[in-house]
Amino acid sequence: MAEKKVPAVDPEVCIGCSACSAICPNVFEMQAEGKSKAVNGEADTEENIQRAIDTCPVQAISWKNKA
């Protein structure tokens, strides 16, 4: 069985542009400190999440294997 992957945002790289949360608002949430966080990696399609990853101007989002 394949590993389930989920998106992860690197807060050290994120610039808080909110593009990811505009594309997948149920997956990415802007935090009080102005950075994005992946709060529910299964709340949208893999295709939409990949579009958010590809849209990130600083490549702060990547896939990781779900623990």
Full-model pTM: 0.91
User: CA gyration radius for the chain?
Assistant: 11
pLDDT of residue 66: 83
Give the per-residue pLDDT at 5.
94
Walking along the chain (67 residues) 10 residues at a time, the average pLDDT comes out as 86 98 98 97 96 98 90
Q: Which domains does the chain have, with CATH numbers?
A: 5-65 (3.30.70.20)
Token digits for 40? 């529910």
> Could you give the 3-state DSSP secondary structure of residue 31?
coil
Six-digit token string for 8: 């992860």
pLDDT for position 3: 73
∠ CA 64-41-35, rounded to 5°: 85
pLDDT at 1: 53
Task: Tokens for 42, please give them.
Answer: 């299964």
